[in-house]
Amino acid sequence: MKIKAPAGMEDLLPGRLAHWRKVEDKVRRVMATYGYGEIRTPMLEATSLFVRSVGEATDIVEKEMYTFGHANAPEDSVTLRPELTAPIVRACLEHSLFAKRPFHKLFYLGAAFRRERPQKGRLRQFHQFGVEALGSHSPVLDAETIELAVAVLEALGLREHTVRLNSTGCATCRNSFRVVLRERLTPDLERVCEDCRSRFERNVFRVLDCKRDSCRPVIQRLPSIQEHLCADCRGHHAVVTATLGEHGIPFTPDPLLVRGLDYYTRTVYELTYPTLGAQNAIGGGGRYDNLVAEFGGPPTGAVGFAMGIERVMLALDAQAGGRDANEDHITPVAVYLCTVEDALRAPAFAFARRVRQAGIPCDLDFEGKSLKAQMRNADRLRARWVVMFGPEEWSRGAAKLKSMQEKSEETLPLDAIVARIQAADTGSTARTP
């Protein structure tokens, strides 16, 4: 029986990973320009962290978490993180960051896990990068996170995104909206799915998030929270939209937009990308002003977003006209060592260490291949230099250094070869293919 990777979990081979690394490097560069510092938290967290933050009546907590624990000790139950906001809030509190400074800008890159039905763009282990700006209620910061999300996509060369924006209000607006929603839904309860009927009882806002086609007609007729925002929330939202407008960041108001996690307050947004197909959300975020206090911290305004790296990669593939079929990656070297006879393999192996210690990527053959095959390998690895170990040169403590670009060669003492390569190279490690 062949053992395969678990459903919805992908291997990243070196060729594909080379593309990922470029994306990650660009993400890190843009994050730094907005003043965000990187944070890493464990893959596993206490289950209660997600139940209390993401929300008990959400799809994530109800159906999608990978939870491990002991039936007799529920307090030991741990869950593979389905998202990273709650872990970061937990880490901020655990390390008393708010006692040190009231405001923190943090970004992350890492894996998240949800037991969803796998399909294109929807995995069970996926990767997100995102930001959390903690310690401010300013609506301008909401706009800045949206600007940053757009800036990252644009730095990656993805320009066809749409930003959908809404406000989900605060506890005050929601209390009155909850009553209205329940009133309006009551006559239609027979027409919505079983999940929605249960949501109606447990957390009626989650009904708005139901993706079932059969529920959409009912949901679309429901009133919008926009009509029930309190004056403060209306004012906050007005500044967000005005700031985006002033900075020329296009967005589409979407009064029906709710996000699948309960901790959001006020601003919520989602970025979609047209080439992604059914799973067209590339990122999403919003404000979560109650989460820090919920975990025992001081009242702390906070806002952030997360983007799916696999979906970014899919959008980039589509833009490039399909996934690179030639992803069978080679790791290029600067120097390849060839031996003319077997007796010289040991000294060549010793010399490789010297080259590598000088920081120069170098490789050689381990399979006793012919000189011709060794040269083919040098070419495949795009070596700019070949050091040829022959008996005659070796007897004089020397070897031949061939420049593959110049098509020239010279015999040099072994001690001089590394310095000669360093002097000639201008820093790039790969020969242009």
What Cα–Cα distance (Å) separates residue 236 from each residue in 19, 208, 226, 240, 358? Answer: 39, 22, 12, 6, 57
75, two tokens: 């307090």
What Cα–Cα distance (Å) separates residue 335 from each residue in 329, 417, 429? Answer: 18, 11, 9
Q: Is 74 helix (H, G, I), strand (E, B) or coil?
A: strand
- Contact between 260 and ligand AMP (CB under 6 A)? yes
The counts of H helices and E strands in the chain are: 16, 16
Closest CA to 101 of 133, 138, 144, 140: 133
Kindly state the smallest distance separating residue 165's Cβ from ligand AMP, in Å: 14
Residue 149 vs 418, nearer CB to ligand AMP: 149
Kindly state the smallest distance separating residue 82's Cβ from ligand AMP, in Å: 8
Kindly state the smallest distance separating residue 214's Cβ from ligand AMP, in Å: 22
User: Taking contact as CB under 6 A, which single stretch among the options 203-211, 212-220, 280-288, 385-393 is the one that binds ligand AMP?
Assistant: 280-288
- Contact between 168 and ligand AMP (CB under 6 A)? no
User: Taking contact as CB under 6 A, which single stretch among the options 11-19, 300-308, 336-344, 401-409 is the one that binds ligand AMP?
Assistant: 300-308
- Contact between 283 and ligand AMP (CB under 6 A)? yes
Residue 270 vs 363, nearer CB to ligand AMP: 270
H or E stretch at 231? helix 231-246
- Orientation angle between helical segments 309-319 and 14-33, nearest 10 degrees: 110
CB neighbour class for 347 (10 Å; exposed up to 12, middle 13-18, buried from 19): middle
Kindly state the smallest distance separating residue 352's Cβ from ligand AMP, in Å: 41
- Contact between 83 and ligand AMP (CB under 6 A)? yes
How many residues belong to the site for ligand AMP (CB under 6 A)?
A: 19
Specify the DSSP class assigned to residue 268: E
Strand locations in 223-329, DSSP E?
252-253, 265-272, 281-287, 302-308
The contact mask relative to ligand AMP for 301-340 (x = CB under 6 A, - = no) is -----xxx-xx-----------------------------
Closest CA to 130 of 11, 265, 302: 302
Whether 229 and 238 have beta carbons less than 8 Å apart is answered as: no
- Contact between 87 and ligand AMP (CB under 6 A)? no
The contact mask relative to ligand AMP for 95-124 (x = CB under 6 A, - = no) is -------------------x-x----xxx-
C-alpha count within 13 angstroms, C-beta hemisphere, residue 213: 0
Which residue in 53, 58, 128, 168 binds ligand AMP (CB under 6 A)?
Answer: 128
Position closest to ligand AMP via CB: 308
Residue 115 vs 354, nearer CB to ligand AMP: 115
User: Taking contact as CB under 6 A, which single stretch among the options 231-239, 275-283, 292-300, 338-346 is the one that binds ligand AMP?
Assistant: 275-283
- Contact between 289 and ligand AMP (CB under 6 A)? no
Kindly state the smallest distance separating residue 57's Cβ from ligand AMP, in Å: 16
C-alpha count within 13 angstroms, C-beta hemisphere, residue 230: 12
Which residues sit at the interface with ligand AMP, rule CB under 6 A?
83, 114, 116, 121-123, 126, 128, 259-260, 281-284, 306-308, 310-311
